[in-house]
Amino acid sequence: MTIKKKQNIKLWFVIIIALIFWSIGTGFHHDLSASSDETYKGLKLFSDVIELVEKNYVDEVDTKELIQKAVQGLVSSLDPHSALLPPEAFEELQIGTHGEFGGIGIVITMQQGVITVISPIEGTPAYKAGIKAGDKIIKVDGELTEDMMLWEAVKKMRGPKGEPVVITIIRKGVLKPIEFKLVRDIISIISVKSLVLQPGYGYIWITNFQDNTTNDLKQTLEKLESGDVPLKGLVLDLRDNPGGLLNQSILVTDLFLEKGKIVSIKGRLKEHTKIFRAHPNEVKRDYPIVVLINGGSASASEIVAGALQDHKKAIIIGTTSFGKGSVQTVEALRDGYGLKFTIARYYTPSGRSIQAQGIIPDIQVKQRVIDREEADEGLMKEKDLKNHLEAEPDAKKDAGEKEDTRNKHRHPKVKSMHESLTLEGLLEDNQVMRALDILRSYDILSG
């Protein structure tokens, strides 16, 4: 390699890095200051490493791929929710907020470096085939998932309706891996479902927060409120709701509040610090509300629960929520890439940070079906994630604090919240029945 070529490589690499930082958008300087010795030295070291690897590594390397992985490592080291999104991942993220796509119908996460099923979605190919919560996916179409990122696994399992995909799982208590051949279908995520528990007592389950959640909830409330028997109380179920769009959680909360703060967002920059407030509604919802949460309630669902709790608009029952109190933004980069990164923490109306702490229910009720074993304590929480943010910018763990890993690999043994919503099932649900008792007691006492 000639000296001229070496210089071109270095220059090209530094330009790419500079463009990446320049393209990120709000929250960063639009140029890298030449006066910053540390920045310059860091970029120089970076380019030197790339050049040495490109020139001397035992096999030929793809420089573009190396740079992408380097930036991925940089961003992922910040916190568990920040990531560089290649074009395919950026596209998948956008698809996921619209509520319909081709796939097999499972909600997955990354636990201890293993792709793990949170839950199958009712009525989907995965659900019908018998895939269960806690199953660990080790292969997709024969390819090991060991080194896959979560978005890569999602993309491999999604696809056009009618096309097959084979996934291999390992399951606790089963000695050998299990192979499932599934035929993809159109997966529709309904974010709002409802039933009448008893005349005058409604139940609404919000599964996640996507584009149409507020409109769907408003229509559902209007239907319950216009029934033959006036609505005396409402159970709002946010259990196992992983969150979603921030604006939808704010609009959902606004349906129940007439004034005051809904959530505060505080970032390092002024433009990332905002207060969202409630507005008067055409319909004043003065009936009592009980909100159900558990360890799977995260992010947007915690905003709703925290706001209703602080305003004394609802009683929160269940178990402590996940504790994801950080706000991410996604910025478009060149060539179809996206950057998802954390810009702020959010706070409830009273000023509580939820980050790594969660919403603590007013009344603790174990998540279990009547006469079945309770297992909610085993759910992984935000505080268990590597590199998680603390509740406050300057908060640190105590020097003597040790990580409790005893329950991290346990999974709920209760019926999945993505399964069929039936009155019979709800009447066997310990938390739902406790919520109904509270609402009936309120009606009797106020009467």
Which residues are part of the catalytic machinery?
299, 310, 324
Residues near 290 by Cβ (< 8 Å), separated by ≥ 6?
233, 234, 235, 236, 314, 315, 316, 317, 435, 438, 439
Q: How far apart are CA 364 and CA 434, in angstroms?
A: 10
- Work out the angle between the directed axes of helices 246-254 and 300-310 (0-180°, nearest 10): 30
Find the distance separating the first CA and the last CA of the chain, reported in whole Å: 88
